[in-house]
Structure 1
Amino acid sequence: MTNFKPGEVTTTHIHSDILNRNITLSVYLPEDYSDLYKSKVVFCFDGRDFLRFGQIHRVYERLRREKAVERVIIVGFHYESVEKRRIEFHPQGEKASQTVQAVAREIMPWIDQTFPTYKVGNARVLLGDSLAGSIALLTTLSYPRVMSQVGLLSPHYDHVVESLFQRCQFKDDLTIWHVIGKEEKDFKLPTSGERADFLTPNRTLNRLISATSATYFYEELDGGHNWKTWKKELPALLKYFLSNQ
């Protein structure tokens, strides 16, 4: 049994029958965490990166001390390798649909059984960068009544995402926060070295979402496809979903 301590990031493992592997999760319980109070859940795909490069737990604590945000627990979903990340997170990846199901049917129920949480869609915030942003959006679109809040940092967008978005029957329930860097028109992918344009597809996604009644924030940033750009946006992202005001 894993011992989770307030103010610490704890690594734990749960077995997924759907993905047929053990999933590594990082769990951060805030410094003022108490079993007596229910918490919202911030769930980060690319969880290790959100914690290591984004320092999202430190950003949260600073906002919490300022009484700017509500109680949450932060859970990070780790990918096993760059190759397996593509298989499980890319919309066209062989196991993308299994990843979505594993989050909804195995991981979220585990979180709710382990910690006192609000078991409603608007109390669960999914976050992701790049491919992790895609799988976060696919998960929300697949289970909008279970997880209706999603924050997207330069997500990959393609016809699979568009199709699922068009099919989602509960767009009114969605709250979407979406940013993309202006320098992402032409940049080199760190894993493959190929040139990529994320800005143009993200503008297409922006038009798609804007045409619906979803609650939606969109901004184009000065910066590129990296954590140097994304980290600066985490305070605004957390306040958007967790504001005490």
Structure 2
Amino acid sequence: MAILKGSITDDKIYSNYLDEEIDLLIYLPSRFTPLVKYPILIAQDGRDYFQLGKLAKTADRLMEEDQMQSCIIVGVNHKGITDRKAKYDPAGEKHENYIRFMAFELTPYLNEKFNTLQLGAGMGLIGDSLGGYVAFKLSLLYPNTFGKVILQSPYVPESLIETVEAIEQMQTLTIYHSIGDEEDQFTNPEGITRDFLTPNRKIKNLLDQLALDYEYTEFQGNHLWVNWQKDLVPALMFLYNNH
């Protein structure tokens, strides 16, 4: 049986916080109708998630098999490695304004453009590595806006661990969190080797103590798209389970 495919279109939004135009990719499910309210999933590294992660293709299949709710997926694109670091890295010069853009410009724009579920559970985030850090930070800062999160091998600095340690209750969030069992030795594009696994396990232990809808998994392998792509199936099914 042929899988019905949703549509992917380009869009743009001007950010006053960043003083630049941001390119978006927007996926609408195959049976999309403006009469129905849809949840929205926003992906950092938008182009990579659509091309390398096969996010739209995976969602098409899961929706067609009735294993996932119909949802709109929005990919937020950056302008390359330098721009990504400036926006996603907590020390990046555009980082704080990028966080503001996501919360105060992109979210209202999407709520206006589409018939959305206006509750926190209606707006989800997905990110890998530094993009995972951004997704996690946004959900901690604005849990009533971003109620669902997929974290794939997120960068977890000490400051994030301290933030989570200070939280007493956070039951509004649904979190899917994965990391590779070989990520204690991850060498980034700049040639710096970091241990991603240990801080992710620390965060997992802290999140386990909170009354969350929380799923943690360790996959076999390292910090690679081939692993995140496979991991999307359980991640999407956990966040948007149709049963």
What's the TM-score bracket when you normalise by the shorter of the two chains? over 0.9
CA distance in 2, matches of 1:207, 1:180: 14
After superposition, the C-alpha distances for 1:48-72 in whole angstroms (9 at most, x for unaligned) are 1110011111111111111111121
Amino acid at match of 1:146: T
Partner of 1:229: 227
Whether 1:242 aligns to 2:240 is: yes
Contact 1:142 1:164 in 2 (8 A): no
CA distance in 2, matches of 1:187, 1:142: 28
Contact 1:134 1:157 in 2 (8 A): yes
Residue 139 of structure 2 aligns to a residue in which SS?
Answer: helix
Amino acid at match of 1:15: Y
1:8 to partner: Cα distance = 2.3
CA distance in 2, matches of 1:97, 1:211: 29
Partner of 1:3: none
Residues 101-112 of structure 1 mapped to structure 2, 5 A cutoff: 101-112=100-111
The normalised TM-score by structure 2 is 0.94
How many equivalent residue pairs?
239
CA distance in 1, matches of 2:109, 2:204: 33
Whether 1:129 aligns to 2:128 is: yes
Contact 2:171 2:212 in 1 (8 A): yes
CA distance in 1, matches of 2:85, 2:208: 28
Contact 2:6 2:60 in 1 (8 A): no
Whether 1:44 aligns to 2:46 is: no
After superposition, the C-alpha distances for 1:106-128 in whole angstroms (9 at most, x for unaligned) are 00111111111111101111000
Amino acid at match of 2:237: K
CA distance in 2, matches of 1:92, 1:204: 22
Partner of 1:65: 64
The normalised TM-score by structure 1 is 0.93
CA distance in 2, matches of 1:132, 1:123: 20
CA distance in 1, matches of 2:147, 2:116: 15
Structure 1 range deviating more: 139-148 or 127-136:
139-148
Q: CA 1:212/1:169 → structure 2, altered by over 3 Å: closer, same or farther?
A: closer
1:97 to partner: Cα distance = 2.1
Partner of 1:115: 114
Contact 1:144 1:170 in 2 (8 A): no
1:200 to partner: Cα distance = 1.1
Percent identity between the aligned chains?
33
Whether 1:15 aligns to 2:10 is: no
Residue 205 of structure 2 aligns to a residue in which SS?
Answer: helix
CA distance in 1, matches of 2:57, 2:95: 30
1:168 to partner: Cα distance = 5.1
1:183 to partner: Cα distance = 1.1
1:15 to partner: Cα distance = 0.5
After superposition, the C-alpha distances for 1:177-215 in whole angstroms (9 at most, x for unaligned) are 1000011111321x2122121111111111121122222
CA RMSD for the aligned pairs?
Answer: 1.4
1:167 to partner: Cα distance = 4.9
Contact 1:140 1:150 in 2 (8 A): yes
CA distance in 1, matches of 2:159, 2:93: 13
Residues 164-203 of structure 1 mapped to structure 2, 5 A cutoff: 164-167=163-166, 171-189=170-188, 191-203=189-201
Contact 1:181 1:223 in 2 (8 A): yes
Contact 2:121 2:148 in 1 (8 A): yes
Contact 1:100 1:142 in 2 (8 A): no
Q: CA 1:240/1:70 → structure 2, altered by over 3 Å: closer, same or farther?
A: same
Whether 1:27 aligns to 2:26 is: yes
Segments of structure 2 that go 5 or more residues without pairing to the other structure are: none
1:166 to partner: Cα distance = 4.1
Amino acid at match of 2:209: A
Residue 220 of structure 1 aligns to a residue in which SS?
Answer: strand
